[in-house]
Amino acid sequence: MGPGVNVGGFEEAMKPVAGMVLVQLVFAGVNIFYKLAVCDGMDMRVLIAYRYLFASAVLCPLAFFVERKKRTKLTWRVLLLSFVCGLCGGSLAQNLYISGMKLTSATFASAMTNLIPAITFILAVLFRYERLGIRTISGQAKLSGTLLGVSGAMLLTFYKGADVTPWHPTINLIAQITSAHSHEISAVHPAIESTNRLMGSLLCTGSCFFYALWLILQAKLSREYPFHYSSTALMCAMTALQSLAFALCFDTDFSSHQWRLELYSIRFLAVVYTGVLASGVMLVVLSWCVKRRGPLFASVFNPMMLVVVAVLSSLLLGEKLHLGSVLGAVLIVMGLYAVLWGKGKEAKAAAGGEAAGNNNKVVAGGTELPHIDVVVHRHAPETTMPNSQQQQQQEDGDRMAAAVR
């Protein structure tokens, strides 16, 4: 029975890890579709609006039917938190990211997203969701692991090194798409390279800040309204309205080329993938992981996305894999293991402290508990209590204990 309990506990502890790995794999695919949609000439503001509209269309009916019996009444506080979560994690983070990418480059913007773990760690400490514990081994592991992950992601992006691609990919989706829009790409590409790099870095940093703030707020929303489907549907609906209003500020003609979606085109596939799978299903998984393990645990997996993007870009987009990518990936994995080890050690210490506290309570009351037992037995009725009465009394005691918990 002991080994079975240990295996079950291990499987339960690994569920949030597997969930975050799946989230990062799907989000890596989002970056691939972003690149393909940009090469096809699609306005990214329109893509974000469509993305959250599709996500709301999927999640709202799902949340209504799945949680209709156990869902509590919505309050103005929950609606306000949902609006702010949608504003920070959806509208502001995504649109600032795109604006920064246009002023710099997609590579630079992707590298800046690796500031999210560091910013989330600082915000989590300030909001007292995480303890710094710099003098403890677990705190030092979390801090060093976060720094290792960010450093590895930066090395992966900015240092190329020698070509170490172990395969010779024959697929280049970007070349196939841009062949039909070569005149558009040549007109846009020089303008992107000549923009203000400083302003772009500020916009990307602002995107990371709002995303990290969303992770903190999402943890609060999960406690206020612990219904994952409903809270995610609310957030997506808020983001859809905000993003639609923002996109309409630049293009109000729904019949224009930017708003038109042709079936099975790259724009349609990008909208369906990013809206239904990434912003719909994966946000539910991400919200669940934040509730189970905290915002720092969720954010520290973000550098993994660059590793997957590097591999997918090499296989599908014709990009080469360089030495910097390999070294950066090693640092990222080391950082992840360091943070997860620190989190696990901190959880064990907290569990041990709680158990010790319970034992101390028993020891402190040790002079009274035996006396109480004596009194109870002394005044106990001499007749034997019927089994049915004992069972009823035990059930009443169980209900009392459940009510106290």
Q: What is the pLDDT of residues 133-166, one digit of tens each?
A: 788 888 888 888 888 878 877 786 677 778 877 7
DSSP code per residue over 49-110: HHHHHHHHHHHHHHHHHHSTTTPPPP-HHHHHHHHHHIIIIIIIHHHHHHHHHHHS-HHHHH
Distance of CA 16 to the CA centre of its chain: 11
The domain containing residue 85 runs over which residues? 12-346
Q: What is the pLDDT of residues 356-366, one digit of tens each?
A: 665 554 444 44
Q: Within a domain: residue 211?
A: yes
Q: What is the pLDDT of residues 201-220, one digit of tens each?
A: 788 888 989 988 988 888 78
Percent of the chain with pLDDT over 90: 9
Percent of the chain with pLDDT over 70: 77
Helix 282-293 × helix 197-224 angle, to 10°: 70
C-beta neighbour count of 246 within 10 angstroms: 16
Q: Within a domain: residue 356?
A: no
Quick one: which of 306, 299, 106 has its CA closest to 219? 299
Quick one: which of 117, 171, 119, 175 has its CA closest to 148? 117
Element (DSSP H or E) covering residue 335: helix 323-364
Q: Within a domain: residue 294?
A: yes
Per-residue pLDDT, averaged over 375-393, amounts to 44
Q: Within a domain: residue 355?
A: no
- CA-to-CA dists, residue 147 to 178, 263, 281, 282, angstroms: 38, 44, 30, 26
Strand partners, 163: 322
Q: Within a domain: residue 144?
A: yes
Ramachandran category for residue 72: left, alpha or beta (phi over 0 → left; psi -120 to 50 → alpha):
beta
Tokens of 381: 């009725």
pTM of the model: 0.70
Strand partners, 172: 317
Q: Residue 163 — φ and ψ, nearest 5°?
A: -75, 120
Q: What is the pLDDT of residues 282-336, one digit of tens each?
A: 877 887 887 788 766 777 787 787 778 778 877 887 777 778 777 887 887 788 7
Residue with more model confidence, 18 or 103: 18
pLDDT at 105: 62
Is residue 258 classed as helix, strand or coil in its secondary structure?
Answer: coil
pLDDT at 196: 58
C-beta neighbour count of 342 within 10 angstroms: 23
Confirm if 300 and 109 have CB atoms less than 8 A apart.
no
Residue with more model confidence, 129 or 386: 129
Whole-number Å distance between alpha carbons of 55 and 233: 8
Whole-number Å distance between alpha carbons of 52 and 263: 18
The amino acid present at 172, given as its one-letter code, is: N
Q: Within a domain: residue 139?
A: yes
How many independent structural domains does the chain possess? 1
Decide if pLDDT at 242 tops 60. Answer: yes
Q: Within a domain: residue 36?
A: yes
Quick one: which of 142, 91, 95 has its CA closest to 121? 142
Q: Within a domain: residue 234?
A: yes
